[in-house]
Structure 1
Amino acid sequence: MVRWVNGGRGKLLPFLGMLLAMLTQSGSMVVIKFAMTDGINKYVMVVYSMALSSFFLLPFALFQHRSEGPPLTFSALCSFLLLALFVSSAQIMSYIGIELSSPTLASAILNLVPAFTFVLALIFRMEKVEWRNFSSEAKVLGTVVSISGAFVVILYKGPPIGMKVQFSTQLNWILGGICCVADSLFTSMWYIYQASVAKKYPAVTVILFFQFLFSTIPCGIFALISVRDPTEWKLSFDAGLSVVLYQAIGATMLRYVLCTWCVHREGPLFCAMFKPVGIIFTAIMSAIFLGENLGLGSLIGGVIIVVGFYAVLWGKSREENNDEKKGITGIKNKK
């Protein structure tokens, strides 16, 4: 990442943007855990956060649509709806996973997103594997290593590193880890499909607005079925309102806008390199605000995931460099 910082102002802004995006995501995990411990319903938080995010993005989406956005068609709206289903499913799984386990575990398992994205890209023929090519072998091996690391984090909690703290039961830890894996899978599906949608409809703010708006609908239906007590929907001027505002403005709207902008500027590979930073941010913030200590299993599994993660990135980066060299050589040969 150092070479991007040294690349001048043009590289520094995306670098700072992704750091801020990871910081807001880590803060979100800690805030969610704190809010649920304080008695705030997780499903209600999702609904209010999505609804407020779409409300705040509405004026920007209207401006972009009128100035440069292509016409809204029924096909485009159906695409936005499918993206919204991926987003809402990921959000619900994330909240359940954090409630049952810990923010640190959820942050560690999010590093499975590149591995799942690579597997899905292979299935939909967006990626290729040449088994005699070392870079392709690195991508496959890195994917297997990342998934193995996730199993270590889920199945082996281990003793706490530092002072003794009270953890959830082992069963809750495993179930929470499985929900976090589902969150990573839905996020990967969102990445794959978003790449296709963005080519057909490049107005980023409009896409995000409809995603948040349409996400509010299934999340609202799910919450109405799950939350029967009307008092749980009431928001007062206390910690509950602060949590919802942070989730809507910082963790949802700002993070998605920053990630989308950075992907547009520097590509998905650049953004993916910041995932392990989230583990560091989350571990520090969990220790400060929640009094949580890092478990040995989370540490070992997190290291394994990061090693596999960077193996995938290295293989992908080397493939792209080779493709660029082949392209330049092809141009020279034509001349």
Structure 2
Amino acid sequence: MGDQTPFVSFCLALSKFKPYLAIISLQFGYAGMYIITMVSLKHGMSHYVLAVYRHVVATIVLAPFAFVLERKIRPKLTLPVFLRIMALGFLEPVLDQNLYYLGMKYTTATFASATVNILPAVTFILAIIFRLETVNVRRLQSLAKVIGTAVTVAGAMVMTLYKGPIINFTSGGAGSHHGSSVDSSDSHFFTGTLMLIGSCFGWAGFFILQSFTLKKYPAELSLSTLICLMGVVEGAAVSLIMERDMSAWKIGFDSRLLAAAYSGVVCSGIAYYVQGFVSKQKGPVFVTSFSPLCMIITSALGVIILAELVHLGSILGAILIVFGLYTVVWGKSKDPPSSAASFTDEKAAAQELPITCKSINVDDNNIDGPGGMLKTNQAKSTLTQGA
């Protein structure tokens, strides 16, 4: 049994850190999406069409896995669950992504990725409203979550209302090269910021509704596939209304195809599954708690690849957002384990009980004799400690 202890410890540690590794990997995927999408939008691709093609790719990729891997565990699709899937297909694939793409087009990829850092605060507020999170101001962790949320919102306001001087991280004549684009961006900067904030509310609502839906329909791959499919249907309807020119739907072997394929596979297909899996274990607030990592990666890529100009207000606001965000995360980490985690721990303990019982020898003859009840209680106490 001693030989199994390191292996069991490794498995437990891997299971504990699996949600962290999954979410961190997802942030790298999102950072790449921001850069590739920005390039395709600058080349004239319609954000409405991009959102539709993105979910066409995601549906094609996810459907075979969902059909094969979850054919035995997939629950029946009822009308209430279908209505929720329709709402999920509108909140993220249509509302969030179109507002985000348009907001990023009016600002920059770096600013857009930084604005997304208000997502945990928005999700936390909605989670309190829908009773997925509890707040007790007498406890330090609850107070930290409230203060962190307020600081995060303040950071977003700084980024929105104050631009400040340009911080040039690159050498050369970057300022003159991007002068016209900066002026064009300035004229729509405030509108673009409001769109980015609106996209965060749509995304946060998606996380909350996804948590509720998974309780009724606990099949992550199938649910992700259905969300992508509804995103295609609803997004196509919106696109046909907003984009009257049919030439906008043309796509070739260029950055447009790369943006649709990459964002569809990584940021819709894989992301919906990973977010559902982690949200089921850790809750929707945890899923959104690693956004600053994506902001750092995107900022570095934006300066290097796109030669974007960073303003002082964006840096100051991002610092406040990161500080407030990790205050929320610290408070969240001090919360008691959720019922799902407790259930998992109970299952693990139940699996270990037979092994522990074999190592305890109880004399059956003494149980019926004098003091037998005391020995039995001692054996139970030892068993509890071993488990």
Q: TM-score, normalised by structure 1?
A: 0.88
Q: Is the 8 A contact 1:32 1:98 kept in 2?
A: no
Separation in 2 of the partners of 1:12 and 1:322? 16
Match of 1:10 in 2: 15
Compute the displacement of 1:267 (Å). Answer: 5.0
Determine which of 261, 270, 284 is the counterpart of 1:254.
270
Match of 1:51 in 2: 56
Match of 1:244 in 2: 260
Q: Is the 8 A contact 1:21 1:259 kept in 2?
A: no
1:157 is aligned to 2:201: no
Match of 2:222 in 1: 206
The CA RMSD measured in Å over matched residues stands at 2.5
Separation in 2 of the partners of 1:160 and 1:276? 21
Compute the displacement of 1:219 (Å). Answer: 1.2
Structure 2 residue identity aligned to 1:89:
L
> What's the CA shift string for 1:19-66, capped at 9, x where partnerless?
221011111111111111111111111111112211221112222442
Separation in 2 of the partners of 1:157 and 1:107? 16
Determine which of 94, 106, 110 is the counterpart of 1:104.
110
Q: Is the 8 A contact 1:112 1:184 kept in 2?
A: yes
Deviates more, 1:315-324 or 1:225-234: 315-324
Compute the displacement of 1:15 (Å). Answer: 3.6
Compute the displacement of 1:214 (Å). Answer: 0.6
Compute the displacement of 1:259 (Å). Answer: 2.8
Percent identity reads 31
Q: Is the 8 A contact 1:64 1:203 kept in 2?
A: no
Compute the displacement of 1:105 (Å). Answer: 1.2
Separation in 1 of the partners of 2:338 and 2:50? 46
Written as runs of structure 1 = structure 2, the 5 A alignment for 1:115-264 is 115-162=121-168, 163=170, 164-165=174-175, 166=178, 167=182, 168-264=184-280
1:282 is aligned to 2:298: yes
Change in Cα spacing, 1:322 to 1:186, as seen in structure 2 (3 Å) is closer
Separation in 1 of the partners of 2:108 and 2:219? 36
Match of 2:288 in 1: 272
Q: Is the 8 A contact 2:120 2:285 kept in 1?
A: no
Separation in 1 of the partners of 2:32 and 2:234? 25
1:22 is aligned to 2:27: yes
Match of 2:85 in 1: 80
Uncovered stretches (5+) of structure 2, i.e. residues with no partner? 1-9, 342-380
Separation in 2 of the partners of 1:111 and 1:51? 28
Separation in 2 of the partners of 1:20 and 1:194? 21
**Aligned pairs, number:** 322
Deviates more, 1:61-70 or 1:296-305: 61-70
Separation in 1 of the partners of 2:223 and 2:205? 16
1:293 is aligned to 2:335: no
Structure 2 residue identity aligned to 1:46:
A
Compute the displacement of 1:315 (Å). Answer: 1.9
Compute the displacement of 1:316 (Å). Answer: 2.1
1:31 is aligned to 2:36: yes
Q: Is the 8 A contact 1:114 1:309 kept in 2?
A: yes
Uncovered stretches (5+) of structure 1, i.e. residues with no partner? 325-331
Deviates more, 1:151-160 or 1:96-105: 151-160
Q: Is the 8 A contact 2:104 2:112 kept in 1?
A: yes
Change in Cα spacing, 1:68 to 1:94, as seen in structure 2 (3 Å) is same
Q: TM-score, normalised by structure 2?
A: 0.77
Determine which of 21, 35, 41 is the counterpart of 2:46.
41
SS in 1 for 2:29: helix
SS in 1 for 2:336: helix
